[in-house]
């Protein structure tokens, strides 16, 4: 096989979603096809430095566990921006501990392609994409226009309405308007014009950060929701004075956590404070004489968006492309369960949220969902992959919102579950993202000869990869959640290997062994797996499989959609190795 293509995996960044990006960077590094690509981890810190980091640092719990330091800083876990102004020597020492700094001018010398898994402002909005275009590096996902649209929620709403004809009430107002408003009157006016309850959103955030639902006719709750989405918080003297030092520190730690706090630096009475300890001292001083003080994020939103609250079945659906650019909508995932809203915690930190594929509705409604998705994808400048969320209302209306041009990419992310329904593993999905992105960069009319040569080289490598036999490993798991999780992990490990090919096999309690289709290895747990194996293939998914068959063939070769019973002799004839998930041992036959 030809020399591997060097892929810079960009993760981290300056946005509030940097920890989700960190998880995605680990996924890409672990699951990228090692026969085709050489992964180069590029950590982008929250000051915008590009750092080629030591790969073992991808296995920390959080960015703050390794950068700027493993040690607490004045008793707090902080991001580098909380250290304030750093001179070149200080910065060099911090970076040197984790890797080496890379300048954008160095990109062409160290990588052939940029796999950008960075979310939010200054990452997903076209900023990094424009930088990469300047230096002639093809990158993952949509181009500049699709990226710009994908970060602007009010603009998305307007364009989706024009494209699909959907009607969804929404308004925006600025921080200045909020500061001088008669809030009681504004609350009443919103209820009369938008309806109740309603949703407050920060217009440039993702991962459901900066989203609040106002469910009570309470001016206090309304004010709190708007302030949350402006990323500001008010401290009251009466409450602050009752807190112990430990409670104050805990509150500062929560403010540092970007999934629940406003982050640092912050502004207090015109003063910029970078560190939680400095804010504690400032609050002690200010609240000694004042009844209250408002703390505002240095990266606060300038305006917020109010949307009507939609009652219906919530779904999320990825859209990809065939080689020729024709869009294919994947099976939509329904999100359900006892949740108030599909927010950051329910997405990433909760077991309450449940998911099913496809949405539990009629075939006619599923076609309606796809029709709206494809119109939106094809018109708003999206390409390669975009995950679009929406609702199906009780009267069968489809209301779309929040296109995500760089979906979250942990192994359990919705986009990988949906790609698995057309037969692709995480590894094969990543290969698709890279290959199709190169094809889309050619359409931009820049560096076309160079990118065509890269595309031809990769296409040849993919064809050889799919058609070259590998040593097959039966990943055998029993009917326990622990073994199923182990099997999922080993499936990912062997899928990215140049040598091995995994074959998932369930050793059932009845003594039989069954070869399992790849899509059934993406369930939330063994209970979901057990429920899925007894169900026939949904007719809507059968339709999608037919539409996506060229994609499946190119990246996976084939897709066995049915579970198959295996005898011991048949298993021995099929594989060369067995990995036993109960004992976590590899046996050569």
Task: Choose among 44, 46, 57, 15: nearest CA to 102.
Answer: 44
Q: Domain extents for the chain?
A: 5-146, 169-228+304-308, 231-300, 468-589
d(CA 128, CA 382): 16
Q: Are strands 5-12 and 113-116 parallel, antiparallel or unpaired?
A: parallel
Q: H or E stretch including 147?
A: helix 144-150
Could you list the pLDDT tens digit for every one of the 589 residues in the chain? 669 999 999 999 999 999 999 999 999 999 999 999 999 999 999 999 999 999 999 999 999 999 998 787 888 999 999 999 999 999 999 999 999 999 999 999 999 999 999 998 888 899 999 999 999 999 999 999 999 888 889 999 999 999 999 999 999 999 999 999 999 999 999 999 999 999 999 989 876 788 999 999 999 999 999 999 999 999 999 999 999 999 999 999 999 999 889 999 999 999 999 999 999 999 999 999 999 999 999 999 999 999 999 999 999 999 999 999 999 999 999 999 865 554 545 554 545 678 999 999 999 999 999 999 999 999 999 999 999 999 999 999 999 999 999 998 988 899 999 999 999 999 999 999 999 999 999 999 999 999 999 999 999 999 999 999 999 999 999 999 999 999 999 999 999 999 999 999 999 999 899 999 999 999 999 999 999 988 899 999 999 999 999 999 999 999 999 999 999 999 999 999 999 999 999 999 8
β-pair partners for 8: 40, 114
DSSP 325: S
Q: How many CB atoms lie within 10 A of CB 270?
A: 5
- The CATH number of 231-300 is 3.30.1490
Alpha carbon separation from 415 to 156, 235, 409, 492 (Å, rounded): 20, 40, 8, 15
Tokens for 551, please give them: 């994609």
The CATH number of domain 5-146, selected from 3.40.50.20, 3.90.930.12, 3.40.50.1000, 1.10.3720.10: 3.40.50.20
Tokens for 17, please give them: 């979603």
Q: What is the CA radius of gyration of the chain?
A: 25
Note whether 117 and 25 are within 8 A (CB): yes
Tell me the CATH class for 169-228+304-308: alpha beta
Q: Cα 468 from chain centroid? A: 32
Task: Choose among 285, 281, 294, 278: nearest CA to 236.
Answer: 294
Cβ contacts of 496 within 8 Å, gap of 6 or more:
30, 31, 32, 33, 34, 427
pTM (predicted TM-score) = 0.94
β-pair partners for 12: 44
Torsion angle (degrees, nearest 10) of CA 448, 450, 452, 455: -130
Note whether 160 and 401 are within 8 A (CB): yes
Residue 338 sits at the vertex; the CA angle it makes with 334 and 344, to the nearest 5 degrees, is 70
Tokens for 32, please give them: 């990228």
Query: Environment class of residue 124 by beta-carbon count within 10 Å: exposed (0-12), middle (13-18) or buried (19+)?
Result: buried
Alpha carbon separation from 562 to 162, 173, 514, 536, 571 (Å, rounded): 41, 53, 10, 9, 16
3-state secondary structure 558-571: CCCCCCEEECHHHH
| Domains 169-228+304-308 and 231-300 are alike in CATH topology | yes
DSSP 76: B
Note whether 7 and 138 are within 8 A (CB): no
Cβ contacts of 271 within 8 Å, gap of 6 or more:
282
Q: H or E stretch including 101?
A: strand 99-102
């Amino acid at each position: 096989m030809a020399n591997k293509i060097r892929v810079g995996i960009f993760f981290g960044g300056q946005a509030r979603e940097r920890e989700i990006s960190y998880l995605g960077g680990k996924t890409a590094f672990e699951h990228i096809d090692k026969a085709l690509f050489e992964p180069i981890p590029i950590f982008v810190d929250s000051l915008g430095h590009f750092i080629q980091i030591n790969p073992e640092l991808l296995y920390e719990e959080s960015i703050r566990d390794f950068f700027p330091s493993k040690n607490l800083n004045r008793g707090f876990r902080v991001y580098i921006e909380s250290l304030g102004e750093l001179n070149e020597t200080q910065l060099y020492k911090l970076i040197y501990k984790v890797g080496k700094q890379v300048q954008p001018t160095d990109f062409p010398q160290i990588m052939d392609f940029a796999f950008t898994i960075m979310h939010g402002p200054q990452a997903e909005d076209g900023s990094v994409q424009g930088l990469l275009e300047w230096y002639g590096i093809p990158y993952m996902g949509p181009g500049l226009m699709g990226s710009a649209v994908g970060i602007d929620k009010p603009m998305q709403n307007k364009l989706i309405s024009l494209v699909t004809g959907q009607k969804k009430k929404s308004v925006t107002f600025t921080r200045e308007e909020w500061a001088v408003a008669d809030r009681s009157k504004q609350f009443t006016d919103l209820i009369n014009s938008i309806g109740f309850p309603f949703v407050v959103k920060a217009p440039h955030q993702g991962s459901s950060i900066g989203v609040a639902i106002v469910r009570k006719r309470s001016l206090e709750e309304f004010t709190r929701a708007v302030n949350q989405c402006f990323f500001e918080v008010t401290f009251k003297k009466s409450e602050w004075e009752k807190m112990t030092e430990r409670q104050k520190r805990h509150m500062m730690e929560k403010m540092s956590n970007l999934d629940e706090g406003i982050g640092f630096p912050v502004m207090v009475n015109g003063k910029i404070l970078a560190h939680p300890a400095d804010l504690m001292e400032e609050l002690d001083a200010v609240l000694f004489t004042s009844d209250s003080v408002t703390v505002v994020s240095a990266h606060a939103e300038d305006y917020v968006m109010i949307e009507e609250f939609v009652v219906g079945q919530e779904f999320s659906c990825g859209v990809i492309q065939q080689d020729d650019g024709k869009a294919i909508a994947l099976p939509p995932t329904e999100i359900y369960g006892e949740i108030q809203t599909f927010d950051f915690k329910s997405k990433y930190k909760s077991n309450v949220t449940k998911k099913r594929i496809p949405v539990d509705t009629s075939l006619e409604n599923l076609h309606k969902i796809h029709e709206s998705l494809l119109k939106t994808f094809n018109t708003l400048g999206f390409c390669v992959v975009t995950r679009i969320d929406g609702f199906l209302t009780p009267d069968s209306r489809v209301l779309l919102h929040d296109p995500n041009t760089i979906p979250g990419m942990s192994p359990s992310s919705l986009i990988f579950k949906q790609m698995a329904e057309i037969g692709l593993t995480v590894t094969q999905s990543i290969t698709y993202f890279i290959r199709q992105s190169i094809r889309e960069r050619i359409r931009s009319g820049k560096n076309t000869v160079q990118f065509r040569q890269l595309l031809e080289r990769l296409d040849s490598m993919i064809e050889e990869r799919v058609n070259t036999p590998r040593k097959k490993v039966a990943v055998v798991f029993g009917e326990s959640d622990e073994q199923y999780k182990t099997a999922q992990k080993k499936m990912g490990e062997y899928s990215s290997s140049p040598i091995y090919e995994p074959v998932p096999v369930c050793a059932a309690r009845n003594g039989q062994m069954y070869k399992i289709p790849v899509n059934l290895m993406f369930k939330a747990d063994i209970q979901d797996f057990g429920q899925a194996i007894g169900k026939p293939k949904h007719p809507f998914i059968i339709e999608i499989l037919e539409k996506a068959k060229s994609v499946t063939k190119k990246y996976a070769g084939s897709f066995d959609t049915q579970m198959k019973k295996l005898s011991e002799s048949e298993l021995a004839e099929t594989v060369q190795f067995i990995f036993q998930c109960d004992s976590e041992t590899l046996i050569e036959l």
